[in-house]
Amino acid sequence: MYQAVLFDLDGTLLNTLEDLANAMNRVLEKWGLPLHTLEDYKFFVGDGVENLVRRALPENMRDPTLLAKGVAAMRQEYSKAWALCTKPYPGVRELLDGLRARSIPMAVLSNKPDDFTKKMVKSLLGSWKFHPVLGERAGLPRKPDPAGALEIASILKVQPERFLYLGDTDTDMKTAVSAGMFPVGALWGFRSAEELLSSGARKLIGRPQELLEFF
């Protein structure tokens, strides 16, 4: 029934939280602002770098000029140290091996900037073929807009309803629903089962390998 898998990246395939949090906290520290905990960042990430910076900054510092400076500073810090702690979640390698053995096409759609998305997939998941790999870029609306997911379906020539969409946030589930894909929530990621279910998840899995049961 299902012919392809579309993956979110952060919180689904890769645990990127610590490197993201450390980079943003370095920006805040340089600006003399309060830092945030790793738990805080679970709710800051997932909707692109601009929203991450907006959520991390104090409310009185979220005007467009300061926000733009914050985004630039965050990009600079993250580009210097994006892979110190980031690695695939336990079980991800086994899942990807299983999908490859079944000749299932795999793609990635992230709200992370397109250059970082492609760099991270190539560097940390380069043993497997992902096509296409799309991140945030000009002309492509961020998730939960379904445009990126539908572009991937078009490129792979697979009908959206034949896709499993695996993600870990409400943004991912809403994207899958809007695109007409089957939303699967990853419980090892950044958000709760309740959030995933309330935003449209039709299946929750606690280990990556459980996705293979669909094939």
Question: Please, which residues have CB within 8 angstroms of residue 32's CB and are 6 or more apart in sequence?
Answer: none
DSSP letters for 8-24: --BTTTEE-HHHHHHHH
Distance between CA atoms of residues 175 and 25, nearest Å: 29
| 8 is a catalytic site residue | yes
Beta-bridge mates of residue 6: 107, 165
The candidate with the shortest Cα–Cα distance to 178, out of 6, 14, 3, is 6
The single residue of 8, 10, 19, 168 carrying the catalytic annotation is 8
Q: What are the E-state strand segments in the chain?
A: 4-7, 14-15, 87-88, 106-113, 133-136, 163-167, 182-186, 203-205
Catalytic residues: 8
